[in-house]
C-alpha cells in the first residue's frame, strides 16, 4: 500500500520528463533530414543536440534527486497518504530517487535512437533491464527479505544498467554520437520552445492523474492496496499509444522533406 503514493510521485516526475524525450526525437530527426547539410554536418549537429539533452537530463535528474531526498516526507504528504504509510514510502523513495539521473538519461538516449529509426535497440535494452530488475527483485525480496528497500535497490540497479547499455549502443550502433560541450543559451531556448508546450500538456494530464491517486491514497490501507494494481493496469493501457507518437516524430521530418 505504501507504494501507492511513491508511484504517484515518480509517475508525475517521469511523465513530465517524457516531454524532453519527445523534443529530443523531434530535434534530432529534423536535423538528420535537413536539406543543405552534408552527412557529416548532420551527424555533428545531431551529436551536439544529443549531448546537450543528456547534460540537461543528468543535471535535472540530480536536482530532482536532491529535492526528493530533502523534501521527501513533505512531497509524500502532499499525495494525501495516510501518516502510517509515510515511513515505509520514504524508505523506498530515498533509494529510488538515486536512480533519477539515470532514468532521465534513459529517456533522452532512447529518443536519440528513435530519431534514427533504431527502435529495436531500445526494445532490447529495456528487455534486459526488466530481466535484471526481476532477477534482483527475486534475490533481494524473496531470498534476502529486504522488502520495499530490496524493490527500490532492484529498480535503481536496472535503471543504471539500461542507461549504461544505451550509452554503449550510442557509441557502437548509432550514426550520431554525443559531442560534449556546455549547452549554449540558444540551445537552451530551442529545448525550452520544444519542451515547454509538451511539458504543460503533460502537467495538465498529471494533475488529473494526481487527483485520482490522491483520492485513492486517502482510502484505508486494504482499499488502497486493491486500487494500486488496477491503476497500474490502467496506466499500461493509457500509455499504449506512446510508440505511435514516437514513430510519428521520427518519420514525419523525412516525409515532409520528400514532399517538399
pLDDT > 70: percent of the chain: 95
Q: Residue 124: its pLDDT value, please?
A: 96
Predicted confidence at residue 80, as pLDDT, reads: 76
Q: What tens digit of pLDDT does each residue of 187-231 get? A: 999 999 888 888 888 888 888 877 887 788 778 888 888 888 888
Please tell me the distance from the alpha carbon of residue 193 to that of residue 122, in angstroms, as a whole number. Answer: 26
**Higher pLDDT among residues 101 and 23, named by residue:** 101
Contact in structure between 49 and 29 (CB atoms under 8 Å): no
pLDDT averaged over the chain? 89
Helices vs. strands in the chain: H and E counts, helices first: 9, 0
Residues 10/96, Cβ–Cβ less than 8 Å: yes
Q: Tell me the C-alpha to C-alpha distance, in Å, between residue 9 and each of 5, 53, 207, 219.
A: 6, 23, 12, 17
In sequence order, what are the residues at sequence separation of 6 or more whose Cβ sits closer than 8 angstroms to the Cβ of residue 69? 94, 97
Evaluate whether 61 touches 43 at the Cβ level (below 8 Å): no
- Alpha-carbon distance 249 to 243, whole Å? 10
pLDDT at 205: 84
Q: In terms of pLDDT, which residue wins out, 225 or 47?
A: 47
Least confident piece of the model among 48-52, 87-91, 171-175, 250-254: 250-254
Q: Name the pLDDT band for 7 (thresholds 50, 70, 90).
A: confident
The pLDDT assigned to 17 comes to 94
Task: For residue 54, count other CB atoms closer than 10 A to its CB.
Answer: 21
pLDDT interval class at 134 (50, 70, 90)? very high
CB 151 within 8 A of CB 92: yes
Amino acid at each position: 500500500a505504501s507504494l501507492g503514493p511513491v508511484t504517484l510521485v515518480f509517475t508525475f516526475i517521469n511523465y513530465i520528463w517524457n516531454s524532453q524525450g519527445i523534443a529530443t526525437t523531434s530535434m534530432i530527426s529534423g536535423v538528420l533530414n535537413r536539406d543543405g547539410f552534408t552527412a557529416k554536418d548532420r551527424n555533428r549537429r545531431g551529436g551536439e543536440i544529443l549531448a546537450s539533452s543528456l547534460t540537461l537530463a543528468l543535471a535535472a535528474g540530480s536536482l530532482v534527486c536532491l529535492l526528493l531526498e530533502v523534501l521527501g516526507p513533505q512531497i509524500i504528504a502532499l499525495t494525501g497518504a495516510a501518516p502510517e504509510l509515510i515511513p515505509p514510502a520514504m524508505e523506498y523513495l530515498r533509494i529510488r530517487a538515486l536512480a533519477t539521473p539515470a532514468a532521465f538519461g534513459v529517456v533522452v538516449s532512447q529518443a536519440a535512437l528513435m530519431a534514427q529509426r533504431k527502435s529495436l535497440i531500445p526494445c532490447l535494452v529495456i528487455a534486459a533491464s526488466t530481466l535484471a530488475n526481476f532477477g534482483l527483485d527475486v534475490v533481494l525480496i524473496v531470498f534476502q527479505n529486504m522488502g520495499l528497500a530490496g524493490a527500490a535497490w532492484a529498480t535503481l540497479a536496472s535503471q543504471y544498467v539500461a542507461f549504461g547499455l544505451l550509452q554503449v549502443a550510442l557509441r557502437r550502433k548509432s550514426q550520431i554520437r554525443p559531442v560534449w560541450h556546455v549547452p549554449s543559451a540558444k540551445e537552451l531556448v530551442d529545448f525550452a520552445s520544444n519542451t515547454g508546450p509538451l511539458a504543460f500538456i503533460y502537467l495538465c494530464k498529471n494533475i488529473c492523474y494526481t487527483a485520482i491517486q490522491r483520492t485513492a491514497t486517502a482510502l484505508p490501507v486494504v482499499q488502497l492496496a486493491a486500487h494500486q494494481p488496477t491503476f497500474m493496469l490502467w496506466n499500461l493501457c493509457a500509455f499504449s499509444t506512446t510508440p505511435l507518437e514516437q514513430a510519428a516524430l521520427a518519420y514525419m521530418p523525412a516525409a515532409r522533406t520528400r514532399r517538399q
